[in-house]
Amino acid sequence: SHLAGIENSQSADMETNGPGATEKTAYFQPQNLQAWQAIKLRHPDAPMVAGGTDLVLQISTQYADMPQLIDITRIEELQHCELGQQHVTLGAGLSYSDVERKLEATLPRFVALLQQLGSPQIRNRGSLGGNIANASPVADTPPMLLALDAKLKLFDVSGSARELPLDEFYVAYKQTQLQPSEIIVSLSLPLAALADFHRFYKITKRYDDDIASVLGAFRFSLGPNHSIRDARIAYGGMAATPLRVPAAEQTLIGKSIRDPRSLDPAIAVLENTLQPIDDVRASSAYRRAMAVNLLRKAWLELGGAKLPSVHATPASSAGVQGA
């Protein structure tokens, strides 16, 4: 297919892209949700594209036919970042580079792992909402966001909106609760979760610019006497979807971090329930062992242990031209 220009207008009257464009070849670029509604109503089957780091590959490598595309990168409601009294809200259209800059002080560990995501060029293009909606089981941000109790705000072409916890969003491999008529507007993270102890680990063959074999995300809230009040355990690369393990979390509630046996029931749950696949990145046995070991590592750090780590200084996207 050929793109005949760009519709870059808040007007709902413009359906095509200027001279030579037709209803069958069009690239739309709405500036707000109202304009998106108008375009989506007229072209309900047109795919939405943000950074295009995954979708464009379907065109270039799989020769997918996408004669109509809706570019959502200019929708103003998807670009907001707001710090409220109880939540931080991030627009789904923010690039990874945007998130790096906006969360560097609030979530330094989240940002540090983001800097392992692809190259600076990919981080300048790829969007937070795209990483969520693409529903890859090895995506970097969903396990971290699961551990932080993220909620999504979804907007429908009818004008209605709904909130959905991220741990209810993923249904099966590459399948989500997002309806064809909906768009992810933003996600919110509770400040209380951000204040808890949390750790994110990514296992890859290369430190930078590589897809995770396993990604572990952990959050622990402490109560009296060094006991666990709440816990979150989430993984990427362990199932057909980004995965939270509530059964393992529940075994830790009320347990003391000073008792070396406290972690044993959670480890047993992981060993008995996780069924990862074998593929080119890792075997099933390796993934399961890493899931257990990453939990152990987070638990040791929670208890104050100083553990060795791989040190590197990833190139920050914030300083790259065009970020």
Same domain, 86 and 74: no
Same domain, yes or no, for 221 and 260?
yes
Residue 295 lies in a domain: yes
The CA distance from 293 to 225, in Å, is 25
Residue 137 sits in the same domain as residue 186:
yes
State the pairing for strand pair 87-91/197-203: unpaired
Which of 33, 48, 78 delimits the end of a domain?
78
273 and 217 belong to one structural domain: yes
Instruction: Please state, rounded to an integer, the average pLDDT across all residues of the chain.
Output: 84
What is the Cα–Cα distance from 67 to 156, expressed in whole angstroms?
A: 23
Residue 180 has pLDDT above 90, yes or no: yes
Q: Tell me which of 22, 45, 78 is where a domain ends.
A: 78
pLDDT of amino acid 107: 78
Q: Please state the domain count of the chain.
A: 3
Residue 207, pLDDT score = 57
- Asked if pLDDT for residue 13 goes beyond 60, the answer is no
Residues 105 and 178 in one domain: yes
Q: Is residue 309 domain-resident?
A: no
Q: Which residue has the higher pLDDT, 101 or 297?
A: 297
Looking at the fold, whether 23 and 121 belong to one and the same domain comes out as no
**Backbone phi, then psi, for 137, in 5-degree steps?**
-70, -15
Q: Is residue 229 part of a domain?
A: yes
Q: Given a cut of 70, is residue 265 above it in pLDDT?
A: yes
171 vs 119, higher pLDDT: 171
The answer to whether residue 313 is domain-embedded is: no
Whether 315 is in a domain gets the answer: no
Could you identify the residue written with the tokens 């997002």? 178
Q: What is the mean pLDDT of residues 250-278?
A: 95
Q: For the domain that residue 95 is a member of, what is the CATH number?
A: 3.30.465.10
Together in a domain, 187 and 216: no
Residues 83 and 3 placed together within one structural domain of the fold: no
Per-residue model confidence as pLDDT tens digits over 108-126:
877 776 776 766 777 777 7
When pLDDT is averaged across residues 252-275 and rounded to a whole number, the result is: 96
Residue 117 and residue 131 in one domain: yes
pLDDT of residue 91: 94
Who wins on pLDDT, 312 or 88?
A: 88
Residue where a domain stops, chosen among 193, 227, 243: 193
Cα distance between residue 51 and residue 127, in whole Å:
6
Domain limits at 8? 1-78
- Among 5-19, 62-76, 211-225, 277-291, the range scoring the smallest mean pLDDT is 5-19
Task: Summarize pLDDT for 217-248 with one digit per residue, the tens.
Answer: 999 999 999 999 999 999 999 999 999 999 99
Q: What is the pLDDT of residue 316?
A: 44
Q: What is the pLDDT of residues 46-84, one digit of tens each?
A: 988 887 767 766 666 666 677 788 999 899 999 998 888
